[in-house]
Amino acid sequence: MLQRIRDEAHRVAVSYHRSLMSKATSSSWLDQVSGIGPGRKKALMRHFGSPRRILNAELEDIKAVPGLPDKAADAVYLAARKIREDTNAGPKGPEPTALM
C-alpha cells in the first residue's frame, strides 16, 4: 500500500515538472507582444530561427517577414528595443534567460 502511494506521488510530481518544463521551453518574450499570436510567432521563428535573432533584428528585417503586417512588425520591434534597453541597463535588467 505504501509503495503504491509513493509511486502515485512520484507520478504526479513528474507530470507536474514536465508540464512546467514544457511551458518554459515553448514560451518567449514574443508571447507578451500584442498582435502576435501563434501563427505570426511561427512565421517570425521560421524567418529568423530564434527569439534572440528577432531581438537583434532591425525594423526593415522584421517587416520583411511574409504575412506580418506593418503594425505587428512595429509592435515586435518596439518590444525588442525595450528588452534590449532593459538588458543593457546593467545589473538590474532581466536575466539573459528571460530573453528566450
DSSP state of 50: S
pTM of the complete model beyond 0.85: no
Q: Note the pLDDT of residue 89.
A: 62
What residue numbers bound the domain in which 90 lies? 28-99
CATH number, position 91: 1.10.150.20
Q: What is the spatial distance between Cα 98 and Cα 17, in angstroms, rounded to a whole number?
A: 19
Comparison of pLDDT for 90 and 44, the residue scoring more: 44
Average pLDDT over residues 64-90: 88
Q: Note the pLDDT of residue 91.
A: 52
Where would I find the H helices in 1-100?
2-26, 38-48, 51-55, 59-63, 70-87
* 33-42: pLDDT as tens digits: 888 888 998 8
On whether residue 82 sits in a domain, the answer given is yes
On whether residue 4 sits in a domain, the answer given is no
Grid cell digits, residue 60: 526593415
**Mean predicted lDDT score pLDDT of the chain:** 85
Q: Note the pLDDT of residue 31.
A: 83
On whether residue 79 sits in a domain, the answer given is yes
Average pLDDT over residues 64-71: 93
Number of domains observed in the structure of the chain = 1
Q: What is the spatial distance between Cα 97 and Cα 100, in angstroms, rounded to a whole number?
A: 6
